[in-house]
Structure 1
Amino acid sequence: MNRTEKEELVAEMREMFANSSTVVVSHYSGLTVAQLEELRGKMREAGASFKVTKNRLTKLALADSKFEGLVDILSGPTAIAFSEDAVAAAKATVEFAKKNDKLVILGGAMDETALDVDGVKALASMPSLDELRGKLVGVLQAPAQKLAAVTQAPAGQLARVFGAYGSSEA
């Protein structure tokens, strides 16, 4: 890789970090190509991305970014999971690491906050943005459903009274 390609890669990674809200760093040593592809697929499904990186170039890209604190854990065969959704990258990485012990989570960051392994696992246990949106829609719909039931109840009661009155006369 020549100097221009390296500079382009660093610029691309800087943009990636600027657009991400969460980054998870892990060791991938021992994973096969098929396993890496499976992990990338799971990341895409979750709305995240997974990239094997060169530590030296990644450190250059992290300089003066909100994830600058990750520089210290970049050693060995590292890969980075990142997403705009605060939970997606952590959730997909932790779920894959549970099934495959060769993926070792080193730490991560959510915006300017550095996370250790336990912090990444705690973040992964939180509901995703889509799950939160679903819950919010459910909460917003519940009062409307209750209002409709309350407004229909008097009419239903009146109909039962008239029905009972009509059947008693017959």
Structure 2
Amino acid sequence: MANILLRRALLDAIRVPVGTRASSELSKIGNREWVGYGFNGQPNYMDRADYPLPAVRFRPDTPDIKVLREKEKGDWRKLTVEEKKALYRASFCQTFAEFQAPTGEWKGAFGWALILASMSLWAYMAMKLFVYSPLPESFSEESQKAQLKRMLDLQVNPVDGLSSKWDYENNRWK
């Protein structure tokens, strides 16, 4: 319950009032322009494929960017490729290809998994060597064969058990 109340208090503390969003000028977050709803209606920036338009621009407005924004209101054919790239990078941190590209994080996770697996094997071997007592003598193959012979000699469970499958006349399994 306290967790829910704390979360609600934190969200209320950082939430921008609705009247601010509906004003004639776009709201500013620091020196960054609020340009859309985003993925949760909060003034934050995140590169996401499912919500491609973040709520605020990536970089704050500088005099160079303001000049380019005025220039972009005109004919886009008059803009150079570098100016178009500068406008894009002022609004977005990465392109779709950049933020959807594989990062190689799986290699580190796989490496840590192998390290943990090898450590657990070393711990098992150490426990087996130093902590556990040796197996009893009855686990040896000779002892098990002797026990089986003794059970057959005593005819243990002759109706439907082990002795029922032994042919006592020919001394072999049926």
**TM-score if structure 1 supplies the norm length?**
0.30
**TM-score if structure 2 supplies the norm length?**
0.30
Q: Which has the higher helix share?
A: 1
Rg (Cα) greater in structure: 2
Q: Which has the higher strand share?
A: 1
Q: Which has the higher contact order (CA 8 A, sep 6+)?
A: 1
